[in-house]
Structure 1
Amino acid sequence: MVDTPIFYKEIVPLDRMHHKSFRLKGEPPRYKFAAQSHVVPAIVDEFGMGGRTLPIVFLPGAKVPSAVFLLGMNPGDNRLIASDGRWEDIYVPAYLRRYPFIIGEVEGAESIVCIDQSSELFGTETGQPLFDESGEETALLQDKIRFINDYLVAARRTDEFVKTMAELDLFQTVTIDVQPAAQDRRVMHGLMMIDLQKFNALPDKDFLRLRQMGFIPMVYAHLASLANLDRFALRAEAA
């Protein structure tokens, strides 16, 4: 891994000897690590479910944009994580549920299970163990490993989706302007969305290509999710 993913600080391979005493803590501080972030990466597999309550937008990248859930209108302004780390919405993004586990990819070698061993979610006194007394993986750890492997597959599919949207020149740069009642306007510049007009004007061959790739529902889920921007105005007003 070249770049350290957001929220991860000390990624190391999971080792049954070195981490045998590690336990994973649960609620309520589960999501406190993300409390200062106003965006969280999104994968296409969750566009439908997550987009019901969370806006899905795209951030400009060096090569292609990145899909994210918008959790607030300004850096450091997270409207969905309480001060004690509780998640205050219906759908929890898969990226948050994956942490502090992750698949490590090394070119020319097999992928390995890694953790952020500096995470406050790990302890040795309380929580659910990762390994049993004989050093074997617990059911909890097996579930986590399945999840992060599934996430990796979905993340690659998300990269393919975003790359395809960029190739078809379907992204547009926008400014989001939300003004809660009796409060200052909150403006975000430089975000990207799929241009519905360009999408509707696609040649038949390109639309068929997207349908065959299974990307049409993701496009509509993204566009429908933008209606949730109004929820941030209401949350800001109530804050």
Structure 2
Amino acid sequence: MSNPLFYKNVVPLNTEAHKNLRLSVPKKPLAFAQDANLIPALVDEFEFAMGDLPIAFLPGAAGPSAVFVTGLTPGNNVFVSKDGLWDGAYAPAYLRRYPFIVGDVAGSDSLLCVDDTYEGLNEKEGDRFFTKTGASEETLERALTLSQSYKTSAERTDLFAKKLQEVDLLRAVSLDAVKPDGEKTSVHGLMVVDEEAFAALSAETLHELHQAGFLKAIYCHLFSLKAIARLGRQLEGASAEPEKTGLKKA
């Protein structure tokens, strides 16, 4: 299987191979994300991000996946500054988790893993991962807690996205930006909740969504689309808004 976005070489952490490993902050902490105009999103962070980050969905063989739209042109993340810092009110959990990730092993407990190509990993400076006796330091405990929480929320997000597809709520869109000189750029292949289809849902389906705790997430997603205007302004004075192109059938 291919590695997740940003991860290049994921290895399980252990007290022998990584007994001297430390974590420091690179000069440009988020440089690894400066070319990503789509970042994986969790349903549990929609509420906190909706005023700042547009939320959309990507179609996939296993079902749709939620993403934050961080730029209107491929290879351009308008939320990462030239100094590699986050220029926004809310930083996605996916970025805050990196370079750690939980790995599943058949017949065993999940393991905390790390991308060993991450610039901030070294054996000379920063926060240690393990004590001299092999116990986990606080840095590693925090990383494990965040990574496990992310995994749980990601599973819930997958259920949410599949439910939206199941009830035919997702519509394909293109996000268009027009610069002052008339040049146009678009992000294709995304989906959003169709408001007309949402309004036409039966009381039974609405109750199911409410019972699953998904109604609030739908409203947060719809509200977040207002933030697309910021992406347009960041694009050399461009303007932007979603243009519906067709309904994505489940």
Q: What band does the TM-score fall into relative to the shorter chain?
A: over 0.9
Alignment of 1:141-160 (within 5 A): 141-160=140-159
Partner-residue secondary structure (3-state), 1:164: helix
Offset at residue 63 of structure 1 (A): 2.8
Q: Which residue of 2 aligns with 1:105?
A: 104
| Alignment partners' CA distance in 2, 1:111 and 1:138 | 18
- In the alignment, which residue of structure 1 is the partner of 2:206? 207
Structure 2 unaligned blocks of 5 or more: 239-250
Which consecutive residues of structure 1, in runs of 5 or more, have no partner in the other structure? Answer: none
What does 1:174-185 align with in structure 2 at a 5 Å threshold?
Answer: 174-182=173-181, 184-185=183-184
Following TM superposition, by how much is the alpha carbon of 1:183 offset from its aligned partner in structure 2, in angstroms? 5.5
- Could you tell me how far apart the structure 2 residues matched to 1:13 and 1:59 are? 29
Contact 2:102 2:113 in 1 (8 A): yes
- Corresponding pairs, count: 238
- Supply the distance in 1 between the matched residues of 2:55 and 2:129 (Cα, whole angstroms): 33
What is the 5 A alignment of 1:14-163?
Answer: 14-26=13-25, 28-163=27-162
* 8 Å Cα contact 1:178-1:230 kept in structure 2: no
In the TM superposition, residue 150 of structure 1 has moved relative to its aligned partner by 0.6
* CA distance in 1: counterparts of 2:131 and 2:179, whole angstroms: 51
Partner residue, 2:227: 228
Of 111-120 and 93-102, the range deviating more from structure 2: 111-120
Structure 1 position 134, deviation (Å)? 2.3
Q: Report deviation, 1:28.
A: 4.2
Structure 2 CA distance, aligned partners of 1:83 and 1:117? 24
Give RMSD over aligned pairs. Answer: 1.5
Residue 27 of structure 1: how far off its partner (Å):
5.5
**Would the aligned equivalents of 1:174 and 1:192 in 2 still touch at CA under 8 Å?**
yes
Residues 12-55 of structure 1: per-residue CA shift (max 9 Å, x gap): 11111111111111264221111111111000000111111000
Letter in 1 for 2:187: M
TM-score (norm 1): 0.95
- Asked if the contact 2:180–2:237 (Cα under 8 Å) also holds between the matched residues in 1, the reply is no
